[in-house]
A and B are shown apart, each in its own frame.
Chain A
Amino acid sequence: MVNLLWLQSGCCGGSTISFLNADQPDILTALEMLGARFVWHPDLSPVMGEEVLEIFDRFKSEKERLDVLMVEGAIYHGPNGTGKYFIFHDRPFKDWILDLAKVAHYTMAIGTCSSFGGIPAASNNPMEATGLQFLHEKKGGLLGPNYMSRSGLPVINIAGCPAHPDWIVETLIALISGKLDSSGLDKYQRPKVFYSKLAHHACPRNEYYEFKASAEEYSQQGCLFENLGCKATQCESDCNERLWLGRTGSCTRGGFPCISCTSPKFPDGFVPFFETEKIGDIPTTLPLDVPKAWYVGISGLAKLACPKRLLVNAVSFKRVDVE
């Protein structure tokens, strides 16, 4: 039996809910495939109180093997490094995580908060929040830059606010079956298989993007990049290929901009969220690897070549037939 332990630190529970949203496979099937059980999960396990501490003790003393430690939520170091913003059974929660990470065979950060700090580390970071092994793009975090779990792998970051259930489930299965090693991780320790794509890929608005036929306000069908703040050309994820919620949606399919929630720079690296900053007519948030001069040239030509069908539909909330 594979032993899983899920902990919630400074979080909203969103990645737990997202994990429950898993559909191919659903969580019960996933656990069956893994031969795994949650020795404890704060939302799902019947066990509470002292019995939870007994579980922690069994892991710490290695009477029981902790196969995968899964941490959701940012690590609170505040106020003034004391960790008192989150006391768990009379101790700062960060200290419990430190103890358990020492004995974990694999350690996974579930969601952008435990990966990079996320929302709690926004603004002037009043909570003194970090991720497990990063604060934004800087390596370190709670466990330090050199931390390795017993398997020899660093923390595996399943970024996303929330994380897509497939990213969690498939990573677990790949780890347990020995199919994910350090070569499968990017420089932010995210599995490349999910994060080497862009959220832009397979966006249904791509034809509008190609011809720079842009929506001018929300609820319109055009591309959200030029005016409405969409960061999907910068966001490393496969959201629009994989789709969410029983494969029915994604952010851009929902008509609102991608805010690049899988990035270590989320959220403050992607403001303003709902409009596009420009110098002249040129967005400052160009796709990462597209040279600016080429972008300007191509988009000028694309606009000239844009079919009327797209021009009209880009600013309409419903499909308009153009002869």
Chain B
Amino acid sequence: MKKTIKISPFNRVEGDLEIKVGLEDGKVTEAYASGVMFRGFERLLKGRDPMDALVFTCRICGICSASHSTACSNALRVAFKAKMPPNAYLARNIILATEVLLNHLTHFYLFFAVDLVNKKYLGSGAHRELARRFAPFEGSSYSKFIRARTNLLGVLGLFAGKWPNTLALQPGGTTRPVNLSEIIRAKGILVEFQNFLEHDLLGSEIERWLENKNLKDIDFWMGEDGHENSDLGLFIRSAPRFGLDKIGRGPGKFLSCGGYELADGTTWLKSGYFDGEFKSFNEGKITEDIKYSWLKGYEKGRHPFEGVTEPDVDKPGAYSWAKSPRYNGNVVEVGPLARMINDRDPLVLNLVSDIGPSVYTRVLARLHEEIRLLKQLNIWLEEIDPSQPFYIKPEKPKEAEGKGLIEAARGVLGHWIIIEKDKIKNYQVITPTTWNVSPRDSHGNPGAVEEALIGTSVEDEKNPVEIAHIIRSYDPCLFCTVHALKMNKPITTFELAVQGIIKREYS
């Protein structure tokens, strides 16, 4: 029997999303995810002073505002040919990493884990325990996280003054030099946060968790010292039982532009494109289509430097305000899973080869990145030399162009600016969620999340929690995105080669 269900509003994501899926005998055959709000920042910026972009673009998104500040100040840095002192690279990474730490756990505790309390799992045996910990506003872990989150904000206060919407990140570095006293305070805050991670999320020391290199290691870790009773342990116990390792595969192609720029010109997390083979990342291969967006001005894909954002609210066939970014014409997934794969993280590569991309893999990759990042954040704090500067004043050119691509919590974030006669001639932004939740492109290829939904069995159409798991596993931030896709043929095979050895089939 054919049926369409609509979830509007689809909430507990950032922004406004509407989901329509077509079901045939309980299986998703069509998926429509629509970004239902137009925001038009590109239009607001046209003709303004290039520095105004620092004020405006961090306000694209309240949850990842420092990521936009980082990308924007990078685009301006390229345009201004500005230089930054080594301390600035460290301070910027500390600000960005703190935001990502906050984002990943906000996603897990406030957005994702709430679905594990869904009534579908009442008979699972674990429901009482899940509800006791993860019920919104009341769960014990939920409450503890709200307080741990608040404590961690102090790092942002010390390095960025205010958040969301700091202006501390500038093309020439950061406006906030820190002294030894402040570094010590920040370290103390991180110790407290690490205590929360170790006591509640992991139930083990982070070093012990980081010894896990494959699924077998995780199995062993679970049986050790009561780790299975931590929040992560409970998730690892529940997810396969709830089938979360079998849903939400997505396109199986993963893009990362490289995370956390270092003073030596490299990035802490490696960039790359993985489609079964590891390939290098090339910014020139990014294009955006608008065939199914309520936008006009061009046909086929365009590089963001040639991008146009002109609304066309009654455009026939369109179903989303989001554009369709593609990499070398391919639909790709971005985010922590893509970052960990391209960084060749052994644990995540093993998960992907043994289980495949899935809701479970994606959530675990995000939490694993959280743990790696906290460790690295301490190293960056240690490397700051408070006797040295944090900023070099740049000169502003009258004509220039610049691009800033960074890894935000949810994946590749790009800003492109063209400056003409001292003013912004064009400003284009591609956010991570636009990559993940894009509509079809001009070739009819669906976006990553729609593809991930197709083929999913929905047990109770009045309570389509399976769809919720899949969409939320990408941690969408809809202050950007949305659309529709039809399945031409059933997806029966999925192939993924990791390190050239392993091939698996999924039915």
Smallest beta-carbon distance B21→chain A, Å: 12
Contact of A11 among B62, B147, B150 (CB under 8 A): B62
Residues of B within 8 A of A45 (CB): 11-12, 136
B115 to chain A: closest residue by CB: A46
Residues from chain B with a CB closer than 8 A to the CB of A217 are 391, 393
Of residues 475 to 507 in B, which have CB atoms within 8 Å of A's CB atoms? 479
Chain B binder among A135-143, A171-179, A187-195, A243-251: A243-251
Q: How many residues of B contact A (CB 8 A)?
A: 83
Q: Quick one: which of A22, A85, A162, A243 contacts B165, CB cutoff 8 A? A: A162
User: Given that A21-B153, A254-B161 are contacting pairs, would A219 and B65 also be in contact in the complex, using a CB cutoff of 8 Å?
Assistant: no
- Contact call B44/A10, Cβ cutoff below 8 A: no
User: Cβ of B175 and Cβ of A219 under 8 Å apart?
Assistant: yes
Say yes or no: is A89 at the interface (Cβ < 8 Å to chain B): yes
Query: Is B9 part of the binding interface, using a Cβ–Cβ cutoff of 8 Å?
Result: yes
Contacts of A47 in B (CB 8 A): 11
Contacting residue for B160 out of A8, A31, A249, CB 8 A: A249
B43 within 8 A of A: yes
Q: Which among A49, A256, A318 is the interface contact of B387 at CB below 8 angstroms?
A: A318
On chain A, the residues within 8 Å of B185 by CB distance are 248
Task: Identify which of residues 24-53 in chain A touch chain B, using a CB-to-CB cut-off of 8 Å.
Answer: 26-28, 31, 37-38, 42-49, 52
User: In the assembled complex, which residues on chain A have CB atoms less than 8 Å from the CB atom of B165?
Assistant: 14, 161-162, 261
Question: From residue B39, how far is it (CB to closest CB) to chain A in Å?
Answer: 7
- Contacting pair A256 B166 (CB below 8 A): yes
Any B CB within 8 A of the CB of A127: yes
Residue of A nearest to B386 (CB): A318
CB pair B11–A219 under 8 Å, yes or no, is no
Complex Cα–Cα for A141 and B59 (A): 22
**Which partner residue on chain A sits nearest B173 by CB separation?**
A219
Residue of A nearest to B47 (CB): A123
**Chain B residues closer than 8 Å to A256, beta-carbon distance:** 161, 166-168, 170, 175-176
Contact, CB under 8 Å: B153 / A88: no
Of B48-56, B296-304, B407-415, the stretch lying at the interface with chain A is: B48-56
Query: How far, in whole Å, are A120 and B44 apart by their CA atoms in the complex?
Result: 8
Nearest to B147 among chain A residues (CB) is A26
Q: Interface readout for B161-205 with A: 1 if CB under 8 Å, 0 if not?
A: 111111110101111110100000100000000000000000000
Residues of B within 8 A of A49 (CB): 6-10
Measured between alpha carbons, how far is A93 from B151 in the docked complex, in Å? 35
A286 at the interface (CB under 8 A from B): no
Task: Report yes or no: A88 in contact with B154, Cβ–Cβ below 8 A.
Answer: no
Contacting A249 at CB < 8 Å: which of B137, B156, B173? Answer: B156
User: Cβ of B151 and Cβ of A246 under 8 Å apart?
Assistant: yes
B59 touches A161 (CB 8 A): yes
Q: How far is the CB of A225 from chain B (nearest CB, A)?
A: 15
CA distance A120 to B43 in the complex (A): 10
Q: Any chain B CB within 8 A of the CB of A79? A: yes
A245/B137 in contact, CB under 8 A? no
Q: Are B39 and A245 in contact (CB under 8 A)?
A: no
B16 near A88: Cβ-Cβ < 8 Å: yes
**Interface: B149 (CB within 8 A):** yes
Contact with A254, one of B14, B114, B167 (Cβ below 8 angstroms): B167
Q: Mark B276-314, 1 if CB is under 8 A from A, else 0.
A: 000000000000000000000000000000000001010
Shortest Cβ distance from residue A97 to the other chain B in the assembled complex, whole angstroms: 14
Residue B38 lies at the interface, judged by CB distance under 8 Å to chain A: yes
Q: Does B40 contact A (CB under 8 A)?
A: yes
If over half of A's interface residues share one DSSP class (helix, strand or loop), that class is named, otherwise mixed; here it is loop
Beta-carbon contact of A318 and B177 below 8 Å: yes
A60 to B454, CA, bound (A): 37
Q: Which of the four size classes fits the interface of chain A?
A: 35 or more
Query: Given contacts A46-B117, A161-B59, is CB(A123)–CB(B161) below 8 Å?
Result: no
Interface residue? B373 (CB, 8 A): no
Which residues of the other chain, A, contact B146 by a CB distance below 8 angstroms? 20, 26-28
- Kindly report which residue of chain A lies nearest to residue B164, judged by CB atoms: A14
Question: Across the two chains, which residue of chain A brings its CB closest to B167?
Answer: A256
- Please determine whether B479 and A12 come into contact, CB atoms closer than 8 angstroms: yes
B206 within 8 A of A: no
Q: Does B61 contact A (CB under 8 A)?
A: yes
Q: Which residues of B contact A76 (CB under 8 A)?
A: 37-38
| Contacting residues, chain A, for B173 (C-beta < 8 A) | 218-219
The answer to whether residues A272 and B49 also contact, given A14-B59, A48-B11, A317-B391 and a CB cut-off of 8 A, is: yes
CB distance from A77 to the nearest CB of B (A): 12
Cβ of B168 and Cβ of A28 under 8 Å apart? Answer: no
Q: Of A28, A52, A85, A249, which contacts B38 at CB under 8 A?
A: A85
Residue on B nearest A127 in the bound complex, by CB: B40
Q: Judging by beta carbons under 8 Å apart, are A88 and B136 in contact?
A: no
Q: Does A122 contact B (CB under 8 A)?
A: yes
Nearest CB on A from B28, distance (A): 16
Judge if A170 is at the interface, Cβ distance under 8 Å.
no
Closest to A82 in B: B313
- Kindly provide the distance from the CB of B38 to the nearest chain A CB, expressed in whole angstroms: 4
Nearest residue (CB) in A for B11 is A42
CB of B338 within 8 Å of the partner chain:
no
- A85 proximity list for chain B (CB < 8 A): 37-38, 40, 311, 313
Interface flags, B39-81, vs A, CB<8A=1, else 0: 1100111111101101110011111010000000000000000
Partner of B168, one of A26, A248, A254, A319: A254
Q: Is residue B158 within 8 Å, beta carbon to beta carbon, of the partner chain?
A: yes
| Inter-chain contacts of B10 with A (CB < 8 A) | 48-49
Contact indicator B62/A13 (Cβ below 8 Å): yes
Using Cβ atoms and an 8 Å threshold, which residues of chain A touch B161? 244, 249-256
Asked if B330 is an interface residue, CB under 8 A from chain A, the answer is no
A247 to B161, CA, bound (A): 10
Residues of chain B with a CB closer than 8 A to A162's CB: 62, 164-165
Chain B residues with Cβ below 8 Å from A106 are: none
- B33 is an interface residue with CB less than 8 A from chain A: no
How far apart are the CA atoms of A122 and B52 in the complex, in Å?
11
For the complex formed, measure the closest distance between the CB of B136 and the CB atoms of chain A, giving whole angstroms.
6
Indicate if A3 sits at the interface (CB-CB under 8 A). Answer: no
- B461 CB to nearest A CB, Å: 11
Q: Tell me the minimal C-beta distance from B403 to chain A in angstroms.
A: 21
Identify 13 residue pairs between A and B in the complex whose beta-carbon atoms are under 8 Å apart, listed by A's number: A12-B59, A28-B146, A31-B137, A52-B9, A219-B389, A249-B162, A253-B161, A253-B176, A254-B168, A256-B175, A259-B55, A267-B55, A273-B167
Beyond the given pairs A12-B62, A86-B36, 14 more chain A to chain B contacts, judged by CB atoms under 8 angstroms and listed by A's residue number, are A11-B62, A12-B60, A14-B62, A17-B63, A42-B12, A46-B117, A52-B9, A126-B43, A127-B38, A219-B177, A244-B157, A246-B151, A250-B162, A318-B387
Chain A residues packing against B (C-beta within 8 Å) = 8, 10-18, 20-23, 26-28, 31, 37-38, 42-49, 52, 76, 79, 82, 84-90, 93, 119-120, 122-123, 126-127, 161-162, 217-219, 243-257, 259, 261, 267, 271-274, 317-319
List the 6 closest pairs (A to B, CB-CB), nearest first: A254-B161, A14-B62, A248-B157, A249-B157, A255-B175, A245-B157
